[in-house]
Structure 1
Amino acid sequence: MPQAPTTAGHFDHLRGALREFPPLLWSFLYFFFLLTGYYVLRPVRDAMGAANDPAAVFPLAMVDWFAARGIALGDYQLQVLFTGTFLSMLVLQPVYGALVARFPRRLFLPVVYLAFVACLVGFYFAFQAQLPGRGGLFFVWVAVFNLFAVSVFWSFMADIYTDPQARRLYGFIAAGGTLGGLLGPEITSRLVGQLGVGNMLLVSAAFLGLCLVCILKLGPWARARERQAGLAGGEEAMGGRVLEGLRRIATEPLLLAFALLMFFGVGVGTLLYNEQNAIVRAMTLGNPAAAEQATAFYSMLDKWVNWLVLVLQVLVTRAVLVRWGVAPLLLGPALLIVAGYCVLWATPLPMLVAIVQVGTRASEFALAKPARETIYTRVDREARYKAKAAIDTVVYRGGDLAFAWLHKPLATFGSSLVFGVGVLVAAGMTFGAWKLVREQAKLPPDSR
């Protein structure tokens, strides 16, 4: 029987990998800076979503328009925010598709990140001026930023590493993001009370600027890999139709399986998030320091998630990917989430909601996501950049939208019904994972 790998053995593997693959260090730093910047923003975003003052979240004219029709906008806060996020994704997906089709990688990658930095500077001035509606716009923007920036990161990694290399190295690269996920909430929880919310956005912008340095450093390695394999270079425009990614998802079983897993996987997270949000809103109702307290609570939750992710990445992810492939990392978390929802269905206690939320997010980031990303090393560049971006944005936020609105009527009957339906959603996620495992087994080996 094979012995369990030791922590020291994993660090030996890391040292050997750094000698064999110099771009690993820049990949690690890239993901570290990216997720540090994101997790500086995430607690601020979550606090906006849980705010009890609709005027801080939505424009005053919008609040008044709904109030004149007898609708309290605050009662539908998350549903409206998720709707806005999904509509933004629909608008931006063709824009991103055109950018990828018409410009080479050396141009469109920096442009994406420079646009994000410019937006953060704009939000800084909006928060400093206390502009009405800043919270809702910021909530939507952070969701868009997270999905596009992370999707582009992993697409770029698939240009650099082959499938066998990805199985060996993606756990280490993902650990860089986890360390960033630990540092980001720590920065926010320690500094938000002293600097204020607005200045945290400039801190995040600085980390995104460091991502640009890593992109420039990794460019030569991506070009070298493509030349070795005789592939069309990423420094050439990809061409093709702007909406080609969506067409391929509808017609190719592998990409459809990715989309199915993503849709139901988002569903289990959204139902949990909405229940957690209701708890936080009740906890901070009538408190003048509600925004700071909610931000600190979400920072603490993020830290617990990322510590668990780091342990799993160091001790489990690489060993399982190298030895058994993607199947255990896709099916195992799905089955655990089914079990977690069954527990919540029977006993919907607030503390259990937080525990299952931590376990769900940790298994996604540490196990399922690295497994999914290794599969993308075995498909063509159009699938990696166009179809993957559509799955990671439009399908993802479509799931958010559907389950955020589903949660509203379910919640009127109590948490038990929410989690009972969640069991069925988690079962759908498990089916998507099984389908993806079957379809990826039909792929030819990585030509590189």
Structure 2
Amino acid sequence: MSQMEGARGRAGRLQAALGESPPLIWAFVYFFCLLSGYYVLRPVREAMGASADVQQVFPPAMIAFFARHGVAVGELTLQILFTCTFLIMLVLQPVYGALVSRFPRRVFLPVVYGFFIATLLVFYVVFDSGLPGRGMAFFLWITVFNLFAVAVFWSFMADVFSNAEARKYYGYIGAAGTVGAFLGPFLTRTLVGSVGIANLMLVSAVFLSVCVICLLRLRLWAVRREQERKLVSGELPMGGEVLAGLKLIVREPLLRWLAVMVVFGVGVGTLLYNEQAAIVRRAFTDPAAATAYYATLDLAVNALTLVVQLSLTRLLMSRFGIAPALLIPGFAIIVGFSILAASPLPMLVAVVQVVTRASEFSLAKPARETIYTRVGREWRYKAGAAIDTVVYRGGDLSFVWLHKLLSAFGSQAVFAFGLLVAGGMTFGAWRLLREEARLPSERASANPAGTHAAAS
């Protein structure tokens, strides 16, 4: 009975939130479709990264190049993929900076999603024809898609919702995304055996098309909020330097500690990811079977994420601020890595992977994103995107090679080092909270002349 009453209470709070904030339903649909579209494809990406078939993953010219130099390319699959991903991010960061500087929100947001929809149609042809090297191309593409599309989403939400609204609603929005993240791997697991990988590209393209409709609708509320609070309009080009995001990270302590927290958080995930990939490579030789395995893992992650989002995220953030949501994941990861350092069993690796990713999605990510509601557009769209792309992938690159070094000493050495990384992540979160406490109130930040953080 008490469980039923609790469920009714949560449903009542959600219904009240929808009545208070009409744009919330569009934000729900937007994030639901965004993560549905991504998670339809994520198991494909994971299967490509863990594949032992180098002809499927790498272009023939690259395989021949490494063979001439006496290197077995299959032994460096993830290291090569992560290095190329980082290099692509370095190239795309100024392109993105130019886009958000020179074009208004109503232009660059649809352009970002339109680009990804168009390239999905290209990948349909690539997978349908079985083109060699498709694994590497898709792995790089979806990594860029995940970071840019999700970064743009949360930056846009900070245009639509105030800080107080973010603390109340971001948990709900995150839960809508988690439901979409349930649906995505479920569709993949159900369909991949019968329709094949190529047709999954079309399924994802449909979800992203709905995202475009939602962002066009939400733009109306973003404009209204900016007018009511006399904020700088997102309907005007932002201006500023193409590399302003990276310069802001170097200059501003809050952004620096946010970047530190992200780098160490990426390190934790990368160490786990590489150990898991090694296990999958030994256990599965069929790409469809590996895809189904990763889909199952994603379902477990999203199940735990949804439970936390519906039961804890809103409660913690609305009553206690962002501190618990930022610190709890670090402590949970420290416990998990302590267990793995003592006993790195494959099943325990999977369990800690689930806990690590779920705590990031349900607690740490929404907490970090509320900070952007109290700063200016250049911090949100430029610095925020730089942290989520170049900084994020720089951490990936560093730790994927560190893992290669540490793995020579065995799994226990990997996880013992991971304990230090998790400690660094927790320390970064603590310092970020100290800087966040120095931010002006939302009332003050609404005046662009009142603080450099609000200047756009």
- The reply on whether 1:444 has 2:440 as its aligned counterpart is yes
Counterpart check, 1:194 vs 2:194: yes
411, 420, 424: which is aligned to 1:424?
420
Structure 1 SS opposite 2:220: helix
Q: Which amino acid aligns with 1:91?
A: V
1:305-364 CA deviation, whole Å, 9 max, x = no partner? 001100000000000001000000101111110111111001110000000000000000
Deviation string, structure 1 residues 206-242 (Cα, Å, up to 9, x no partner): 1000000001111110000000011121110000000
Quote the offset at 1:390 in angstroms: 0.1
Q: Deviations over 1:170-207 (max 9, x none)?
A: 00001111000000000000000111001101100110
The answer to whether 1:318 aligns with 2:314 is yes
> Which aligned segments of 4 or more residues in structure 1 are displaced greater than 3 angstroms?
none
Cα distance in 2 for partners of 1:372, 1:433 equals: 10
Amino acid in structure 1 at the alignment position of 2:25: L
Distance 1:353 1:264 in 2: 18
Unaligned ranges ≥5, structure 2: 447-456
Partner of residue 277, structure 1: 277
1:295 maps to 291
Question: What's 1:153 paired with?
Answer: 153
Structure 1 match to 2:226: 226
Aligned partner of 1:246 in structure 2 is 246
**1:330 maps to 2:330:** no
Query: How many residues in Structure 1 have an aligned counterpart in Structure 2?
Result: 440
Aligned to 1:316, the other structure's residue is in SS state: helix
Q: Mapping of 1:43-442 within 5 angstroms?
A: 43-284=43-284, 287=285, 290-442=286-438
Q: Distance in 2 between matches of 1:416 and 1:434?
A: 27
SS in 1 for 2:409: coil
Letter in 2 for 1:53: D
Q: 2:398 corresponds to which letter in structure 1?
A: A
Residue aligned with 2:442, SS: coil
Answer whether contact 1:272 1:353 (CA < 8 A) is retained. Answer: yes
CA RMSD between the two structures: 0.8
Task: Give the drift of 1:129.
Answer: 1.3
Asked if the contact 1:116/1:145 (under 8 Å) is kept, the reply is yes
Amino acid at match of 1:315: S
Structure 1 residue runs without a partner (length 5+): none
AA in 1 matched with 2:312: V
Distance 2:441 2:306 in 1: 29
1:250 and 1:446 map into 2 onto residues whose CA distance is: 24
1:47-92 Cα shifts (integer Å, max 9, x gaps) = 0000001111110011011011110000000000000111111100
| Contact 1:174/1:366, CA 8 A, preserved across alignment | yes
Structure 2 distance, partners of 1:91, 1:46, is 24
Distance in 2 (CA, whole Å) between partners of 1:88 and 1:350 is 32
1:325 partner amino acid = G
Deviation at 1:8, TM superposition (A): 2.3
Give the TM-score normalised by the residue count of structure 2.
Answer: 0.96
- C-alpha distance in 2, partners of 1:43/1:435? 35
Question: Is the partner of 1:231 in helix, strand or coil?
Answer: coil
Distance 1:410 1:232 in 2: 49
Contact 1:334–1:426, Cα closer than 8 Å, also in 2 = yes
Residue pair 1:7, 1:315 contacting (<8 A) in 2 also = no
Q: What are the superposed Cα offsets for residues 114-157 of structure 1, whole Å, 9 maximum, x if unpaired?
A: 00001111111111111111100100110000000000000000
Alpha-carbon distance in structure 2 between the residues aligned to 1:313 and 1:9: 15
Which deviates more, 6-15 or 301-310? Answer: 6-15
